[in-house]
Amino acid sequence: MTPQTAARLSPAELAPYIQHTRIDVLATHDDMVAHAREAVQYGFSAAMVAGSWVKVVAAELAGTGIEVASALDFPVVGITSSAGKAAEAAELVRLGATQIDIGVQIGWLKSGMFSEFRDDIAGVVKAAGVPVKVMLELPYLTPDEREAAVELAQEAGAAYLKNASAGTVETANPESVRFLVERLRPGVQVKASGSIKSYEQALTLLDAGAVLLGTSAGIAIVTDTSDESTTSY
């Protein structure tokens, strides 16, 4: 994706870059079926859902070509044991997930436990066998920790690096995206995440080098009807 390419995209043409997100403790079965159908209707890259709804959403999306994504250690990152995280990743894939987003052990990184930080990610990569997107939570890290996190995540086999897990950590911005893009190894890509609410904001993130956008405001973005006051992941 180049600035020239992104600049030519209409709102509707952003849909293949958007991971349509709904992780909501109040969501019902009907809500999640509707969410999956929205992903098909608008042509989103994926339906991103809580692990408890992967089986339902995967059944709804079967044969559509839309990815089924789910997240571990979200919305609170770094609270699951490495073995538990790997086991959950394997189970979500068995249920139909085709992509997994994971939180990282920030405390381990800050403690200099670099091998443990890397192996925590690598365990999920190995157990899942599908693309793993790593939420690095860049605003919580010092400059040196950011560099280490990027390198360790890639050593562990991450398919995508993410600036943050949600808007409570960082509003996705071109600076963070470019930071990641400039440090990518061959084959690794960037997913931007965090309060992505508008068509214009989405374009700036694609211009900066992101290839996926995680947001719960996908419909508003592709119809260019965004409301900046709304909350979005």
**Residue 182 vs residues 127, 166, 175, 209, 233: alpha-carbon distances, Å:** 28, 22, 11, 9, 25
Eight-state DSSP code of residue 208: H
CATH number, position 98: 3.20.20.70
User: Which H or E run includes 29?
Assistant: helix 29-42
pLDDT band of 3, cuts 50, 70, 90: very low
Instruction: Report whether pLDDT(48) > 50.
Output: yes
Task: List, for residues 106-148, the tens digit of each pLDDT value.
Answer: 999 999 999 999 999 999 999 999 999 999 999 999 999 999 9
Say if 145 falls within a structural domain. yes
What's the pLDDT score for residue 78? Answer: 83
Distance of CA 47 to the CA centre of its chain: 11
85, 162, 197, 207: the catalytic one is 162
Residue at 228 is within a domain: no
Whether residue 229 is contained in a domain is answered as no
Burial 23-45 (b: 16+ CB within 10 A, else e): beeebeeeebeebbeebeebbbb
Domain count, the chain: 1
Which residue, among 114, 119, 200, 214, has the nearest Cα to 164 in the 3D structure?
214
DSSP string for 87-156? HHHHHHHHHT-SEEEEE--HHHHHTT-HHHHHHHHHHHHHHH-S-EEEE--GGGS-HHHHHHHHHHHHHT
Task: Kindly state whether residue 100 falls inside one of the protein's structural domains.
Answer: yes
Catalytic site residue from 73, 85, 119, 191: 191
Amino acid, res. 219: I
Q: Which domain holds residue 128?
A: 3-222
162 part of the active site: yes
Tell me, yes or no, whether 232 lies in a domain: no
Percentage, residues of the chain above pLDDT 70: 94
203 lies in some domain: yes
Query: Does residue 55 lie within any of the structural domains?
Result: yes
Provide mean pLDDT across the span 86-115: 98
Q: Virtual CA dihedral for 68, 82, 75, 159, nearest 10 degrees?
A: -50
Q: What CA–CA distances, in Å, run from 24 to 49, 61, 67, 227?
A: 9, 19, 19, 19
* Chain centroid to CA 43: 17
| 8 A C-beta contact, residue 224 and residue 199 | yes
Q: Of 171, 93, 159, whose CA–CA distance to 132 is shortest?
A: 159
Are 61 and 45 within 8 A, CB to CB? no
Q: What pLDDT sits at residue 5?
A: 59
Catalytic, out of 101, 119, 120, 207: 101
**Is 231 domain-assigned?**
no
Single pTM value for the model:
0.93
Structure-model confidence comparison of residues 59 and 232, the more confident one: 59
Distance of CA 41 to CAs 20, 33, 59, 173, Å?
Answer: 11, 12, 16, 28
pLDDT surpasses 50 at 4: no
